[in-house]
Amino acid sequence: MKPDELRRRLEFYQDIGMTTLYRRPATALARGTDAAEADVSGAPPASAAVQPSISLPPLEPSGDTLLRILEDIGDCRRCRLHEGRTKLVFGVGNERAPLVFVGEGPGADEDAQGIPFVGRAGQLLTQMIEGTAKKEGIELRREDVYICNVVKCRPPGNRTPEADEMEICGQFLYRQLSAIAPKAICALGGTAARALTGRKEGVTKMRGRWLEWRGIPVMVSYHPSYLLRPYNQDAKREAWEDLKKVLHFVYD
């Protein structure tokens, strides 16, 4: 089967909600004619010995755009977070941004306005991006980058999103990142860093280092809410260093 046909076939399975495929040994018939077709079966075959199942990762439609992703999210009720939301917070900024910032999830101000990072932490993030860029001789405004979160609806009481919520919403984050294809990503805080890299460490271990999401460099730094707490002078200096590193990497 040609890659295009295989993609269409897999997209069809995805559209009808099928996420697991089973493999069986190729039969003589399948080997001779269309082995891939024989492998791609929605249910374990009754006769052949069942091989381990393969969980399909979410498949991004080819030629994906932010608009299409937004339409696919729609009036999302895929997880419990929709119950408490006022507005879904998709993301904001330049669709072709070479740099994307990823936070954890909307807070109260973001939930009210439908825009990420507009509350106190957001204002600090904007100041940090624009202020650091200016000091480093880089012309950059907040609207030149793209800003979004791992989960698009506000977790009640600003709690950390649960694993299943991040998994469900993460497919849209991954599609956003694939559609934008930035030169680098800056993960703000441990939750975003773990969601993108699959690592388990805390933010202090990961920050300041280049990690990776599907081949795109990811710089991990502190979440701006953490920097708002008093007595965090060291963290503020470190966050500034992280941001300088990412800005020079992307814009030099």
Chain residues binding ligand URA by CB under 6 A are 103-107, 110, 116-117, 119, 121-122, 149, 225
Instruction: Identify which of residues 137 and 202 has a Cβ nearer to ligand URA in the complex.
Output: 202
The nearer residue to ligand URA, 182 or 189, going by C-beta atoms, is 189
Q: CB 126 → ligand URA: shortest distance, Å?
A: 11
Nearest distance, CB of residue 122 and ligand URA, angstroms:
6
Give the nearer residue to ligand URA in terms of CB position, either 107 or 190: 107
Smaller CB distance to ligand URA: residue 179 or 195? 195
What's the min distance (Å) between Cβ of 11 and ligand URA? 31
Using Cβ positions, the residue closest to ligand URA within the complex turns out to be 103
In terms of CB distance, is 104 or 144 closer to ligand URA?
104
The string of DSSP codes covering the chain is --HHHHHHHHHHHHHTT--EEE--PPPHHHHHS-HHHHH-BSS--SSSPPPPEEEPPPPPPTT--HHHHHHHHSS--SSGGGGG-SS----EE-TT-SEEEEES---HHHHHHT-SS-SHHHHHHHHHHHHHHHHTT----GGGSEEEESSSSPPGGGPPPPHHHHHHHHHHHHHHHHHH--SEEEEESHHHHHHHH---S-HHHHTTSEEEETTEEEEEE--HHHHHSTT-HHHHHHHHHHHHHHHHHHH-
Provide, rounded to whole angstroms, the least separation between the CB of residue 71 and ligand URA: 22
Taking the complex as a whole, how short is the minimal distance between the CB of residue 150 and ligand URA, in angstroms?
8
d(CA 218, CA 213): 6
| Residue number, 38 or 197, with CB nearest to ligand URA | 197
Q: Report, in Å, the least distance between residue 235 CB and ligand URA.
A: 16
